Amino acid sequence: MMYSAEIVAGSLLMNETRKLAEVLLRDQSKAAWLNAVIGENVLQKKTQSTAKRMAGLIRHRLETGDAEIWKLIANGDFELSSQATLVLVIRRSRLLADFMSEVLGLKMRRLDFKLVQKDWDDFLQECELRDPVVAGWSELTKAKLFEVLVRILAEGRYLNSSKEKMIQGVMIRPEIRAYLEATNDQTTLASMELHR
């Protein structure tokens, strides 16, 4: 399976990701994690099931990185922290990675800066050819995925807002570039630079 709809569960979730990156930097044990999520309710969720679900999504993302990027997330200014979080979300979601490099990148090169529904629909058709699982997604799931991807791109400053959806260039922070080069992750860097 090439593509997953997991990303539908949440956008960058910056505040929550920062808190949980701090937890992992202090102690990576399962006991410490559960204590933070359930005992201390660091995510400030009304129910344990909501806290567990969100923490699980974020943990999967954080596990695509290491202590070095967790520090950038936990201690960096907002822009640095959000770019570091975006790195992990891209690593976890091939759908987002491909959408950034194939759709946003192509539109930028064509000087067509308005993201529209047709861009998403056309992209999904191509995805179906690469991975039959995409054809099995409901229309509701596809619509929700687009909504979440747009929110992520707006939070990451690749779109001016989730309402207007105007594509804009992003200067990748030197710390992020250095981290991706040190971890030999040219794929994520290419997605963030909107290159194929």
The whole-model pTM stands at 0.95
CB neighbours of residue 11 within 10 Å: 19
- Give the integer Cα–Cα distance in Å for 191 and 117: 20
* 72 vs 169: which has the higher pLDDT: 72
Per-residue pLDDT for 64 more than 80? yes
| pLDDT number for residue 195 | 85
Give tens-digit pLDDT for 103-156: 999 999 999 999 999 999 999 999 999 999 999 999 999 999 999 999 999 999
Query: 102 to each of 52, 76, 108, how far by Cα in Å?
Result: 33, 29, 10
Question: If you average pLDDT over residues 52-75, what whole number do you get?
Answer: 96
pLDDT for the residue 161: 96
